[in-house]
Structure 1
Amino acid sequence: MIERDKIVIAGRVNTGKSSLMNLLTRQETSITDPRAGTTADTSRTFIEFHGLGPVALFDTAGIDEEGGLGAKKKKKVLDLIKESDLILLLINPRQEDFSAEKALIQYIRAQEKQLLIIYNIFHSSDKERIADIEKNIPDLKFHKKIKMSAVNESDRRPLEEFILKNYSSSLRPRPLLPFLKPDLFYPFIIPMDGESPEGRLIRPQSVLLEYILRNGGFVAAYRPGFIADLKEKKLVPESELDRADKFFKSFSEIGCVICDSQVVDYADKVIPSDVLLTTFSIVMINYQSHGKLAAFRDGIRRLKSLKRGDRVLIAEACNHTRMQEDIGTVQIPKVIEERFPEVVVEHSFGREFSETSEIGAYDLVIHCGGCMIDSGKLAARIRDLDALGVPYTNYGLFLSWKGGEKLLERVLKPWGLDLI
């Protein structure tokens, strides 16, 4: 999985944000025009920033655009800042009112994001106004600044050096499977049901396969041939049990079995009790949350006290057409309906999360593995939920809980976590 630093270019309308985007990318990535509001929506491009690595660079709409549409654009910019690593704030020294910049700097500081200031110089006399601007915005003294022209090619390299010198990337290599040991087998149980795409593995499976191979482990995969029977709660055929037994006896030393969440209760039955077991969803949420699996475990406790009228949000970050046995829209809601018949279940789909004001109304959030969003976006969701006091858990943990506390305890064991 490629981790990218997310750098956001922000500022008022017509401060030269799109010109700066084009300067850094060395191409006409964004449309530029002297008329206000040219950037109608956030645009993103990927670049290799030498000295930093892979970067996602964002051009944004002006934060001071008026009207209902302007308010929507501003909200999108603020949401993006919550998920970002570095903000480049462009300031036009020629303007008279700096209230929008002052408010934005306060917001960025409250989000604890790194901020660099760029004075976009349109005329040499603009530099004379900077001292007065910094008196007007006291918070500017806490941040490094550069004076340059966003349309001057000769200023590109000084800008790159300014960013490299003053930005400290928070991205650090981290293990996808921290308990992996070389020369052990890591069998996968992959059901490949009706939603599984042909010709490829889904992302959690493919990235884990690559990670284990790269780090010296052995991988084997097994597809149960009884998915329909399992979902209809029929007995697993004896022939399938024999097949599973043959598969697992093929390995002398198993490091851990990783399975799809929807077959975790089956895996628990066919895998010897002394063999470690977890799910792809749990692996991904631990990785994407930078090791905050314990917080998702803690959210499971809320299931014990759900009552009539409580609201549960099922949050799935990827977009795909839903089929009959979809985990998020069918399997998890079915379990909730059976155990908590008077609880209200709602859904949130896609890369953008619900409004903060709406999230606070939920009593529990059940989140997918988060494999189709970047870790910054997931971190922003977690911060919002923590700030609102809304407990949250994960698909893999929930479906393990469905199988009983012993199963939940088992899938947590590889991570060194107790049930509590």
Structure 2
Amino acid sequence: MNHTPNSNRLHIAVFGRRNSGKSSLINALTGQDTSLVSATPGTTTDPVAKAMEVYPLGPCLFIDTPGFDDEGELGRMRVERTRKMMEKTDIALLLFEDDGTPERQWMELLREHDIPVVLIVNKKDVRQDVDSLALRIEEKYGQVPVVVSAGEKSGMQGIFDAILAKLPEDFAERTITGNRVGEGDVVLLVMPQDIQAPKGRLILPQVQTIRELLDKKCIVVSCTTDRLSDSLQALARPPRLIITDSQAFPIVYRQKPAESSLTSFSVLFAAYKGDIEAFAEGASTIALLTPQSRVLIAEACTHAPLTEDIGTVKIPRLLRKRIGEELQIDFVSGNDFPHDLSRYDLIIHCGACMFNRKYVLSRIAQARAQHIPITNYGMAIAYLTGILDKIVW
């Protein structure tokens, strides 16, 4: 579990005022000195994350955030980072100093983001009014808060129980390949080992897909694009499914057996991490682009640009070949994503293997709210190569 990617962990963020005990609570929950604790207000200036395994929740990522009542210019910047963290939060722990306005406002924000919230009253070891405060919170929000002492590390099991009760029903049920394959099915993975492939390693989507297929008791065969024909001839029967790198779609589609379904790692992750119907609809709007249109390409990873990078080179090349060299294309990476998307006619997002599902869905929701179509790398390439209706997604 220590090697589970953060993107596949349940993201649990702690929100509250400065000195409400957020950092102490994180340390108590994780059993480690994950966050710096001090009596000085505003000690936590940036979100701090700690990955751990919590039975029976599984792999989790606990996130400590700056106080949402921070002040001054730097304070406002810290509050904005706290606000941004909601986009990645699966479950929120909200600490109440009292039942006043700040907590009410953040409760409303969390609900607007459809984030389940566990209400917490901390410092029961030093406060005399914890019971009356808990009662007022229950009456106001219709939810019984968990009363704890982070300093004494008491009441933590109550928080874990509350998190389990708030866990999204489908959190652990979603899989990369869904019901497309089952035990005994032959699955062929076509994985070009080009400049984008890390030397001596496979990229994360390939590793995760292989592991899932092995867990499903599938027969997994891997090859590079140039050995596709030989690999197909070596098989006793056509593969049930062929999963390829999206950029190899045209080559693989021309050679695939009629009995075999075809998809790509990026398309699979579009459904696994995001909203496949929204991405398919977004891909179809490529037909509406003109040379005067503007496209945003968003990459989750922050790596140095490569000579034949799929996001900054190959997709722009395909777009401009179809639409015109005048097409305007902007690029963002990592957590950078414009709040105002109105200037764009289309957003093309990567497979987002480095983001959790909540974060991807928040970007889709942001685009929808501003009526901007959004798709992903694999869906866009499938459309641009004329095979979107011939692949499974």
The alignment's TM-score, normalised by the length of structure 1, stands at: 0.85
Q: Deviations over 1:161-212 (max 9, x none)?
A: 4544x43344132232121133232112222111211111111111111222
1:257 equivalent to 2:260? Answer no
SS in 1 for 2:154: helix
CA contact (8 A) 1:281 1:368 kept: yes
Q: Deviations over 1:296-350 (max 9, x none)?
A: 1111221111124321011111122221111101111112222222321001111
Instruction: Tell me, in whole angstroms, the C-alpha distance in 2 between the residues paired with 1:168 and 1:124.
Output: 30
Q: Deviations over 1:82-113 (max 9, x none)?
A: 321221111224xxx93221211111121221
Q: Name which of 266, 272, 288 aligns with 1:287.
A: 272
1:329 equivalent to 2:312? Answer yes
User: How does 1:38-117 map onto structure 2 within 5 Å?
Assistant: 38-93=43-98, 98-117=100-119
CA contact (8 A) 1:9 1:90 kept: yes
CA contact (8 A) 1:262 1:399 kept: yes
CA contact (8 A) 1:309 1:344 kept: yes
Partner of 1:155: 155
CA contact (8 A) 1:188 1:222 kept: yes
Q: Deviations over 1:206-243 (max 9, x none)?
A: 11112222212212222234xxxxxxxxxxxxxxxxx6
Partner of 1:191: 192
CA contact (8 A) 2:267 2:379 kept: yes
Give 5+ residue unaligned stretches, structure 1. Answer: 226-242, 416-420
Give 5+ residue unaligned stretches, structure 2. Answer: none
CA displacement at 1:43 relative to structure 2: 0.3
CA contact (8 A) 1:83 1:379 kept: no
* 27 and 222 in structure 1: CA distance in 2 versus 1, 3 angstrom threshold: closer
1:370 equivalent to 2:352? Answer yes
Instruction: Tell me, in whole angstroms, the C-alpha distance in 1 between the residues paired with 2:160 and 2:55.
Output: 9
1:316 equivalent to 2:299? Answer yes
Q: Name which of 384, 388, 394 aligns with 2:370.
A: 388
Partner of 1:349: 333
Instruction: Tell me, in whole angstroms, the C-alpha distance in 2 between the residues paired with 1:296 and 1:271.
Output: 25
Q: Name which of 247, 267, 270 aligns with 2:231.
A: 247
CA contact (8 A) 2:190 2:244 kept: yes
CA contact (8 A) 1:284 1:369 kept: yes
Instruction: Tell me, in whole angstroms, the C-alpha distance in 2 between the residues paired with 1:6 and 1:131.
Output: 25
Q: Which amino acid aligns with 1:202?
A: I
Q: Deviations over 1:106-159 (max 9, x none)?
A: 111212211122122363423376279649xx7x42333123322123333444
CA contact (8 A) 2:12 2:61 kept: yes
CA contact (8 A) 1:5 1:169 kept: no
SS in 1 for 2:155: helix
Instruction: Tell me, in whole angstroms, the C-alpha distance in 2 between the residues paired with 1:329 and 1:73.
Output: 31
CA displacement at 1:402 relative to structure 2: 2.1
Total equivalences in the alignment: 383
* Amino-acid identity (%): 30
CA contact (8 A) 1:353 1:381 kept: no
Instruction: Tell me, in whole angstroms, the C-alpha distance in 1 between the residues paired with 2:146 and 2:367.
Output: 36
Partner of 2:280: 297
Larger-Rg structure: 1
Alpha-carbon RMSD across the aligned residues, in angstroms, is 2.2
